[in-house]
Amino acid sequence: MKLAFSTLGVPGLPVADVVRLAAAHGYHGVELRTHPEEPVHPGLGPAERAAVAAEFRASGVEILGLAGYARVAAPGDDAPVLAEIRALLELARDLGAPFVRVFPGGGTEQRPGEADATAARRLGTAAEYAGDLDVRILLETHDSHRTGADVLRVLGAVGHRHVGALWDVMHTWLGGEQPQETYAALCTYLGYVQVKDIASADDRTPLPLGAGVLPITECVEVLSRHGWDGWLCWEYEKRWHEAAAPLPELLDAGRNHLARLLSESA
């Protein structure tokens, strides 16, 4: 498996510095958070996009994916959501990124099944454009669709190879789903896996990998046992927790922890 980290852990850091961190600490790739406050976002012009792509190519570090914020199950009109996804897909094409992340974002006021149907409809429409650009849309286990079983309901209805799943181990754990259950639900659709660690369900301040309660060991063991050979991406949520330790000083230990788990489960 290849290892990456998310720029959510180093908010606002210039691309050149992100690339240097990844290369210096032995990570194969980076997940780029594409919020407008970050250096990389859909508002970049052609020259800026070309410069970002060139920076990564020169370093040998890959852009794993773009972490966008489109909410495909949210109530409201389809058009703004589809436009947001389309902009993400075009940015991913220009940067050479294989994946874009979207959230479910279903509302509590929706009728049973309505959020699933909304998400499936929008993803089915966006999938055709994603196929034209050869980029894959990944629905993250998150918010209204926290577990693999939740996400599977949507993906099964879409049935398109350019729409898949992003497994966030914290949210499936919070949803009470065991790693083997999540893998069984998502294995056909799995794009990559986000790992992280926290102290408890009530205290989600990011911790060094292995220092908290999340079942990272079990997740890696399940993936290895089934011969899955994709990406593990460390999503250290520093952006939301200013008091958390800086990510750069943890990168070596995080890489070593994941490498040890991979070796032990081989």
Cα–Cα–Cα angle for 79, 87, 65, rounded to 5 degrees:
125
Q: CB–CB of 130/88 below 8 Å?
A: no
Q: What percent of the chain has pLDDT over 70?
A: 100
Tokens at 190, concatenated: 């799995």
What tens digit of pLDDT does each residue of 23-44 get? 999 999 999 999 999 999 999 9
pLDDT band at residue 111 using 50, 70 and 90 as cut-offs: confident
Distances (CA, A) of 149 to 100, 160, 167, 178: 21, 18, 11, 11
36-91 pLDDT, tens digit per residue, is: 999 999 999 999 999 999 999 999 999 999 999 999 999 999 999 999 999 999 99
How far apart CA 132 and CA 120 sit, in angstroms, is 19
The half-sphere exposure of 87 on its side-chain side, counting CA atoms within 13 A, is 19
Residue 36 buriedness (CB in 10 A; 0-12 / 13-18 / 19+): exposed
Average of per-residue pLDDT across 201-211: 97
Looking at residue 72, which CATH number applies to its domain? 3.20.20.150
In this prediction, what percent of the chain has a pLDDT beyond 90? 97
Q: How many CB atoms lie within 10 A of CB 243?
A: 6
Q: Please, what's the b/e burial string for 189-211 (b: 16 or more CB within 10 A of its CB; e: otherwise)?
A: bbbbbbbbbbeeeeebbbbbbbe
| Average pLDDT taken over every residue of the chain | 97
The SS3 call for residue 44 is coil
Of 232, 210, 191, nearest in space to 6 by CA? 232
* Beta bridge partner(s), residue 190: 165
- Burial of 123 from C-beta contacts in 10 A (0-12 / 13-18 / 19+): buried
DSSP state of 111: P
Q: Please state, in angstroms and rounded to a whole number, the distance separating the CA atoms of residues 91 and 35.
A: 12
pLDDT at 112 over 90: no
Total of domains in the chain = 1
Does pLDDT of 136 surpass 80?
yes
Q: Which helix (H) or strand (E) is 149 found in, with range?
A: helix 148-158
Full residue range of the structural domain in which residue 72 is found: 2-265
Q: Are 235 and 214 in contact (CB under 8 A)?
A: no
Average pLDDT over residues 181-198: 98
